[in-house]
Amino acid sequence: MSSSSTPDHLDEDAARLALEEVEEAEAVLAQRPQKAEAALGEGAGSGRSSGWVTAALAAPGLLWIGFYLIAPLVIIVLVSFWTFTDSGFERTWTLENYSELFNDSTYWDNMISTFVTSLIAVVACLVLGFPVAYFLALKVESLRIQIALFIIALAPFWTSFLTRAIAWTFPLMGREGALNQVLIKLGIIAEPIPEFGFSTLSVRLAMIQLYILFMITPLFFSLAQVDRHAIEAARDLGGNWWRTFREVILPQTMPGIVIGSIFIFVLTMGDYGTVATVGGGNITSVGTLIYSKIGAVQYPQGAASAVLLVIVLMVGVWVITRFSNLREEL
């Protein structure tokens, strides 16, 4: 690879490369993988024009994000402090939207129930998804089969959440749904369970089904990088299944667990479509509540509700990231 150097420098060159490799290996051994940004940023680009080229490459995407993401988020915060009028809002600063919201028990009830739903979803996705990712990453030996199975498991992620929510709601759940029919046929229940249709239970079940892939994917990638020899070593040293899992596999999988949990938490807290479809209008969440406020042209109130939701989200994400140092791991 170092063919570009002259034979005289070959030795030095090779030695230098070897030393670099040693350093890198030490970094790996010290469990400090390079950050993604650092790894990407290395090499190429020096000289005076380079900064401009970098800026020109990054500008279109970042400007687009600035206009369609950052500006809207800023506007939400601004509008939440503006005054409600019949036609929307006017630029008079007020705290009334928030004081109204803090006294609105419906909002807080919904916040709590949405939070509980999220929590259940995170835990359930982790518990149900871990064996799937573990099987794919560590138990399937053939690479080709592994990829094929992973893609089969991942494919529904690409299809519409809404279609899947509808498929979940009407044919499967509900009083007359397939699930009730099967349970009755099997003699497990005598009467159809009404809670299967348009209920908190069905919303929660649907969310697990719809979002679990967001947990499995990061889990799979971190499990695939677990050093198999470390597992073998742990076993050779007499560690039983549980200790191997707890002391070897789990610490190395933590980043995946954290990323997956953040995904599920954020997606379920901010969900609107699933609750509206699976809940059939009977079930409310923070999302549907904000949506109905917007529908009633109560923009400032809606914006204030959204800001509080974002604060809850940020606190939640912060708490989740305490479990692992993501910046190091990425």
Partner 1 sequence: MIETMAQAAEAVARPQDVVVRREVKQRRDWAKLGLGVYFFIFLFFLYIPMILMAILSFQGDTGQLTFPFRGPVSLDWWKTLWDSNLFNTIADDVSASGRQSLWLSLAAGALVAVFGFMLSMAFRRRWRLRTDVVAFYVLMLALMTPAFLVGLGNQLLWRFMGETPSLWYTALGANVIWGIPFSFLVMLAVWNRYDRHIEEAARDLGANSVTTFREVTLPLVWTGVFGSFLFGFTLTWNDFDRTILLQNGYEAQPLPILIGTWPSSRPILPNLYALGAGTTAVTLFLIFTVLVAVTLRLRFRSAPVTRPAEELGEADSLAGPGSLRRPAE
Q: How many residues bind partner 1 (CB under 8 A)?
A: 119
Q: Which of 76, 183, 231, 312 binds partner 1 (CB under 8 A)?
A: 76
Should residue 227 be labelled a site residue for partner 1 when binding is judged by CB under 8 A? yes
Q: Which of 20, 109, 195, 247 binds partner 1 (CB under 8 A)?
A: 20
Q: Which of 110, 255, 260, 271 binds partner 1 (CB under 8 A)?
A: 271
Q: Which of 112, 116, 127, 166 binds partner 1 (CB under 8 A)?
A: 166
Per-residue mark of binding to partner 1, 32-51 (x: CB under 8 A): -xx-xx-xxx-xxxx---xx
The residue among 228 and 246 lying less far from partner 1, judged by its C-beta, is: 228
Handedness of CA 149, 121, 205, 157 (dihedral sign): negative
* 135 Rama sector, left if φ>0, alpha if ψ -120 to 50, beta otherwise: alpha
For residue 325, the minimal CB distance to partner 1 (Å) is: 15
**Cβ contacts of residue 256 below 8 Å, gap of 6+?**
133, 218, 219, 220, 221, 222, 223
Should residue 313 be labelled a site residue for partner 1 when binding is judged by CB under 8 A? yes
Should residue 290 be labelled a site residue for partner 1 when binding is judged by CB under 8 A? yes
Question: Is the Cβ–Cβ distance between 211 and 264 less than 8 Å?
Answer: yes
3-state secondary structure (DSSP) of residue 89: strand
Residues 101-130 that bind partner 1 (CB under 8 A): 128
The residue among 111 and 132 lying less far from partner 1, judged by its C-beta, is: 132
> Which of 168, 175, 182 minimizes the C-alpha distance to 196?
175
For residue 11, the minimal CB distance to partner 1 (Å) is: 5
**Cβ contacts of residue 175 below 8 Å, gap of 6+?**
192, 194, 196, 197
Q: Which of 158, 191, 237, 238 binds partner 1 (CB under 8 A)?
A: 158
Per-residue mark of binding to partner 1, 178-217 (x: CB under 8 A): x--x---------------------------x--xx----
Q: Which of 184, 272, 312, 321 binds partner 1 (CB under 8 A)?
A: 272
Q: Which of 147, 189, 250, 315 binds partner 1 (CB under 8 A)?
A: 147
Should residue 312 be labelled a site residue for partner 1 when binding is judged by CB under 8 A? no
Three-state secondary structure string covering 188-214: CCCCCCHHHCCCHHHHHHHHHHHHHHH
Q: How far apart are CA 284 and CA 295, in angstroms?
A: 15
Should residue 296 be labelled a site residue for partner 1 when binding is judged by CB under 8 A? no
End-to-end CA distance of the chain: 28
Exposure string of 240-272, with b = 16+ CB inside 10 Å and e = fewer, is: eeeebeeebbeebbebbbbbbbbbbbbbbbbbe
For residue 323, the minimal CB distance to partner 1 (Å) is: 17
Should residue 95 be labelled a site residue for partner 1 when binding is judged by CB under 8 A? no
Should residue 251 be labelled a site residue for partner 1 when binding is judged by CB under 8 A? no
For residue 270, the minimal CB distance to partner 1 (Å) is: 2
Q: How far apart are CA 185 and CA 179, in angstroms?
A: 10
Stretch that binds partner 1, among 99-107, 110-118, 162-170, 246-254 (CB under 8 A): 162-170
Q: How far apart are CA 40 and CA 25, in angstroms?
A: 18
Q: Tokens 């090779």 belong to which residue? A: 14
The residue among 251 and 281 lying less far from partner 1, judged by its C-beta, is: 281
DSSP secondary structure string for all residues of 216-248: HHHHHHHHHTS-HHHHHHHHHTT--HHHHIIII
Should residue 155 be labelled a site residue for partner 1 when binding is judged by CB under 8 A? yes
3-state secondary structure (DSSP) of residue 86: coil
Stretch that binds partner 1, among 62-70, 100-108, 109-117, 247-255 (CB under 8 A): 62-70
Should residue 254 be labelled a site residue for partner 1 when binding is judged by CB under 8 A? no
